[in-house]
Structure 1
Amino acid sequence: MSKSKQAEFVKWFGPLLEALRELGYSGKPKEVSDKIAKNLKLDNAFLDQTLKSGTNRFHNQVAWARQYLTWEGLLDSSTRGTWKLTDKGKNTFLDYKQAHQLFLKWVEINQKARKNKSQKEVITEQEQEDPEAIEIKAETNLLEVLQNLSPSGFENVCKELLREHGFENVEVTGKSHDGGIDGYGTLEINPFVSFKVLFQCKRYKGSVSRSQVGDFRNAMIGRAEKGIILTTGTFTNEAEKEASRDGAPQIELVDGKKLVRMFEKVELGVTPKTIFEVDLSYFEKFSD
């Protein structure tokens, strides 16, 4: 296996630790990835690359870096949804050589735990799949179901999802696709304050572009205080910047990963199951 193909995520080990230190020792996954991208001045062409599954390649690599640092005891694995440095992690600084040694240690442990996999297969699998393998399988299944719905079916399931999350008077505009608006609803903040929200549904496997976000904003200006774009795909880096651009109406972006979490939170179309994940770090001391 050439060096260029050897787990590119290893180069994010050190930058990930540094990003968490700058964020006050903890942060949400996207927040951490964005901090790394900003610190290293990564260009948008790289940040917008996706895997065959449609998952953002950079964010997936950073997630794998986090998994290895967790196995090493540098990040806390108990806090779900938030990445947090342990005391050991707060005082650990890794250059590439040190990161690569740590990586090889845990690849070997993974390989022993999965005797039917070669080292090359373990590394290749990690380059292409999400570290939370069980979750990504369920996520992929749900996204596949959503992507195989008809356009109107996807719009209507999004309508149900918004209702389950507290929106009222939610309606789909129908085949007219009124200026790119697929539907609208009302969100009540408290008994005295509520506002109208317009939404757009994109049943994608690829990425929503900056221009598409801009077109949606143009369609909603003067008609609602808030806009939401829901997609089974992803958003380009420039699209995310456009959605939160200063001086323009803010647009909430819901990508495939967040969409799945929204379905799971209200248990809409999914059934929860208890799953136990093997803690490889626990068994490391018994590997000799």
Structure 2
Amino acid sequence: MADKKQAEFTKWFGPLLNALRELGGSARPKEVVEAIAKSENVPDIQREEIMKSGILRFDNQVAWARQYLVWEGLLDNVKKGVWTLSSKGQDTHLSLEDSRKLFLKWVEIHQKARKDKNSKKNIEKLQDEQGPEEVEHEIAPSLLEVLQTVSPIGFEHICKRLLREHGFENVFVTQASRDGGIDGYGTLELNPFVSMKVLFQCKRYQGTVSRSQVGDFRNAMIGRADKGIILTTGTFSEDAKREASREGAPPIELIDGKKLVELFEKVELGVKPKIVYEVDYNFFEKFIKK
């Protein structure tokens, strides 16, 4: 099983480089993940698989692939939230064998850097259970774990506060017995002349929001607002994502657990910022080699 997961993880090295080339050399993580899934015909069931941490396994594997490519100098590690090919990466094409060798190379470098004979085993375990940004510094419990422990009504009021912090006005949570599938509403001013009414639904989940649930929310909001938002501490199925953006139907924004955490961090709501320095292994590589 470990070998299978490792093979899956290294499998995305080449497709990730190819996806960035197709996207013009840089893109946001979500765009890259979507491009790889499309080019490699990744089935929905694989894309929807969730790890114990609540993270999508496929997304996590792609994120790990990106981390190794950064260490190799094939991707730049400059702007957060944007993955960018380096000049070296632009001209690099990786086969499965190339990817395997690259992986083993950096495992060896980490072993030497940490002077830990079990580094390889530890790294493989981390790749299965965490995202690359969590390796050097774990937060226990995480923001997402805390959000999953609040009461359903508490989560609704937290989401109300989050929407206000992001520019929404006149935000209200509806009464539970009279919500009709709508947990709250608010107004978003697009510019001094145009504003829109937005309805929102909050799902404090650890699982997956289905297509039917997105459809039910849309039916509840038709004729009542210009746009809808579903916020969850879980994830959305691929069918749910397609339903939310279905042509000819009122648009619905989907905010999953990962995006939810990013929105809290952006306005520093319920979290305190701290500086964390990440080791640039690519810089030290030439000094570690024999």
Tell me, yes or no, whether TM beats 0.5: yes
The 5 Å alignment of 1:1-288 reads 3-116=3-116, 117-133=118-134, 137-138=138-139, 141-176=142-177, 178-287=179-288, 288=290
- Any idea what SS the aligned residue of 2:186 has? strand
Separation of aligned partners in 1, 2:223 and 2:102 = 55
Q: Deviations over 1:93-135 (max 9, x none)?
A: 0110011001100111122233343412221211221011169
Of all paired residues, the percent bearing the same amino acid is: 65
- Given that residues 19 and 36 in structure 1 are in contact (C-alpha distance below 8 angstroms), is that contact kept between their aligned partners in structure 2? yes
- Given that residues 111 and 122 in structure 1 are in contact (C-alpha distance below 8 angstroms), is that contact kept between their aligned partners in structure 2? no
How many corresponding residue pairs? 288
Q: What amino acid is aligned across from residue 284 of structure 1 in structure 2?
A: E
What is the CA distance between 1:138 and its match in structure 2? 4.2
- Any idea what SS the aligned residue of 2:12 has? helix
What is the CA distance between 1:2 and its match in structure 2? 5.8
Q: What amino acid is aligned across from residue 111 of structure 2 in structure 1?
A: Q
Separation of aligned partners in 1, 2:160 and 2:206 = 20
Q: Deviations over 1:164-187 (max 9, x none)?
A: 100000000022252211000000
- Given that residues 14 and 99 in structure 1 are in contact (C-alpha distance below 8 angstroms), is that contact kept between their aligned partners in structure 2? yes
- Any idea what SS the aligned residue of 2:176 has? coil
Q: Deviations over 1:52-105 (max 9, x none)?
A: 111001010000000001100000101210000011101100110011001100
- Any idea what SS the aligned residue of 1:284 has? helix
TM-score, scaled to structure 2:
0.95
- Given that residues 208 and 235 in structure 2 are in contact (C-alpha distance below 8 angstroms), is that contact kept between their aligned partners in structure 1? yes
Separation of aligned partners in 2, 1:115 and 1:33 = 34
Q: What amino acid is aligned across from residue 6 of structure 2 in structure 1?
A: Q
- Given that residues 73 and 88 in structure 1 are in contact (C-alpha distance below 8 angstroms), is that contact kept between their aligned partners in structure 2? yes
Shift of the 219–139 alpha-carbon distance from structure 1 to 2, 3 Å rule, reads farther
- Given that residues 110 and 119 in structure 2 are in contact (C-alpha distance below 8 angstroms), is that contact kept between their aligned partners in structure 1? no
TM-score, scaled to structure 1:
0.96
Separation of aligned partners in 2, 1:200 and 1:108 = 48
- Given that residues 186 and 198 in structure 2 are in contact (C-alpha distance below 8 angstroms), is that contact kept between their aligned partners in structure 1? yes
Separation of aligned partners in 2, 1:281 and 1:35 = 27
Separation of aligned partners in 2, 1:135 and 1:162 = 31
Q: What amino acid is aligned across from residue 21 of structure 1 in structure 2?
A: R
Shift of the 118–136 alpha-carbon distance from structure 1 to 2, 3 Å rule, reads closer
Shift of the 179–207 alpha-carbon distance from structure 1 to 2, 3 Å rule, reads same
- Any idea what SS the aligned residue of 2:131 has? coil
- Any idea what SS the aligned residue of 2:55 has? coil
Separation of aligned partners in 2, 1:256 and 1:136 = 19
Q: Deviations over 1:230-279 (max 9, x none)?
A: 01111111111111111101100111111111111111111111111111
- Given that residues 107 and 119 in structure 2 are in contact (C-alpha distance below 8 angstroms), is that contact kept between their aligned partners in structure 1? no
Separation of aligned partners in 1, 2:256 and 2:136 = 16
- Any idea what SS the aligned residue of 2:42 has? coil
Is there any run of 5+ residues in structure 2 with no aligned partner, and where? none
What is the CA distance between 1:229 and its match in structure 2? 0.4
Q: Deviations over 1:3-61 (max 9, x none)?
A: 32435210000000110010001111010010011111111111111111110010100
- Any idea what SS the aligned residue of 2:163 has? helix
- Any idea what SS the aligned residue of 2:197 has? strand
Q: Deviations over 1:153-205 (max 9, x none)?
A: 11001000000100000000022252211000000111211111000001111
Q: What amino acid is aligned across from residue 160 of structure 1 in structure 2?
A: R
